[in-house]
Amino acid sequence: MAKLKDVAKLAGVSPACVSLALNDKPYVSAKTKKRIYDAIEQLNYRPNIIARSLRNKKTHTIGLVLSDITNPFFPEIARGVEIRAREYGLNVILCNTGADPLLEKNYIEILLAKQVDGLILTSVRIIDDLDEYTKEKFPLVFINREPPLSDIDFVGIDNVASAKMAVDHLIKLGHRKIAFIRGEPASSASFSRYEGYKMALEEAGIPYSDDLVKIGYLKYEGGYRAMESFLKGPSVPTAVSCANDMMALGAMDACADKGIKIPQDIAIVGFDDIWVASLESVQLTTVRQPRYLMGVKAVDLMIKRIQGKGENKRIILPTRLIIRGTCGKKR
């Protein structure tokens, strides 16, 4: 197993210089750092994490708490976090809560007991328990669901504008009877997308109706049941906007089971642009979120917090409407 002195010898620098580079100190030039990192890669050198932790009081580990690993939205965020963290020499402990608040709280307590250097939280639910962490200046970064406290870093999108963009597209196609399948009522992101839906209708002079709004809880099954309800109702919509792609997929299957053709009979728009959306048999029109970049940016903010250089930041990333086959022509 290669040692630090072996890296120093190959890179033509002192062991102290290698140590400075590994700890991201400003005293080492970019050119020298490259030589050191090339040597590390060539020798497959792995720092002694335990020894470094004892010296620096850092574990070089961060926790990533996801709410639903079965939703393709989250693995792409996790990939961005893991790859970026590795570039900084950090390990990542991933926890999946299954959208269970008690399990989420338990995982966070476990991660803190393991003395992780910071936490990245997606769609967090234990809002009331965050005060104690922020008081201790513990590094926290939220992804997707906005934090309730102003001194927590956040990476996400403008959910109101993005949802409005999807509904505006349906309106431009001539649809006037547009339904909406929303996510969890307690989720700030889901609520904002619901607000975007209502805003689009209002600006177009289309009356809002509670009969055209169902809750699907961001699940495939919820989207299926919501669409079934729409199709059984007295006033069947000509288009449906969904707060995420999983619900849109459920809605599409409900239509297929009832013999309703997409887009000829009903248009459907999703949100997220998960990988399934682009399949030839699906071709879902949807709002693309930069999920991988969310993970990358979250780690960048985390690093600054860990180094004590961070100031409260809200990074809002752009979205795009990806037009595919589930929206019909203008009527």
CA 259 – CA 163 distance, rounded (Å): 28
Q: Which residue has the higher pLDDT, 47 or 243?
A: 243
Q: What are phi and psi of 304, to 5 degrees?
A: -65, -40
Q: Which residues contact 181 (CB under 8 A, 6 or more apart)?
A: 213, 214, 215, 216, 222, 223, 226, 227, 240, 241, 242, 243, 247, 248, 251
CA 329 – CA 121 distance, rounded (Å): 40
Per-residue pLDDT band for 234 (boundaries 50, 70, 90) equals: confident
pLDDT, residue 100, reads 86
pLDDT, residue 159, reads 96
- Please check the confidence at residue 211 and state whether its pLDDT lies above 90: yes
- Please check the confidence at residue 270 and state whether its pLDDT lies above 70: yes
pLDDT, residue 128, reads 59
CA 218 – CA 326 distance, rounded (Å): 19
CA 161 – CA 317 distance, rounded (Å): 12
pLDDT, residue 227, reads 98
**Beta-bridge mates of residue 286:** 270, 322
Q: Which residue has the higher pLDDT, 133 or 166?
A: 166
- Please check the confidence at residue 157 and state whether its pLDDT lies above 90: yes
pLDDT, residue 264, reads 94
Task: For residue 188, give both structure tokens.
Answer: 């700030």
- Please check the confidence at residue 53 and state whether its pLDDT lies above 50: no
- Please check the confidence at residue 213 and state whether its pLDDT lies above 90: yes
Average pLDDT over the chain, rounded to an integer: 88
pLDDT, residue 106, reads 87
pLDDT, residue 41, reads 84
| Mean pLDDT for the stretch of residues 21-44 | 83
pLDDT, residue 54, reads 43
pLDDT tens for residues 290-302? 999 999 999 999 9
Among 131, 222, 229, which Cα is nearest to 183's?
222
pLDDT, residue 231, reads 96
| Mean pLDDT for the stretch of residues 24-50 | 79
pLDDT, residue 132, reads 60
Largest CA distance in the chain: 78
pLDDT, residue 308, reads 79
**Beta-bridge mates of residue 316:** 156
Task: For residue 49, give both structure tokens.
Answer: 């994490």
User: Is the torsion defined by CA of 75, 76, 77, 81 positive or negative?
Assistant: positive
Domains and CATH numbers, the chain: 4-47 (1.10.260.40), 59-157+290-317 (3.40.50.2300), 159-289 (3.40.50.2300)
pLDDT, residue 310, reads 66
| Mean pLDDT for the stretch of residues 209-219 | 95
Task: For residue 284, give both structure tokens.
Answer: 């879902």
CA 82 – CA 159 distance, rounded (Å): 25
| Mean pLDDT for the stretch of residues 29-37 | 87
pLDDT tens for residues 138-149? 788 999 888 776
- Please check the confidence at residue 179 and state whether its pLDDT lies above 70: yes
- Please check the confidence at residue 61 and state whether its pLDDT lies above 50: yes
Per-residue pLDDT band for 50 (boundaries 50, 70, 90) equals: very low
Q: How remote is the C-alpha of 221 from its chain's centroid?
A: 21
pLDDT tens for residues 106-129? 888 888 878 899 999 986 766 656
Q: Which residue has the higher pLDDT, 89 or 273?
A: 273
Q: Which residue has the higher pLDDT, 250 or 14?
A: 250
Q: How remote is the C-alpha of 167 from its chain's centroid?
A: 22
- Please check the confidence at residue 4 and state whether its pLDDT lies above 90: no
Q: Which residue has the higher pLDDT, 60 or 51?
A: 60
Angle, CA of 187, 167 and 200, to the nearest 5°: 85
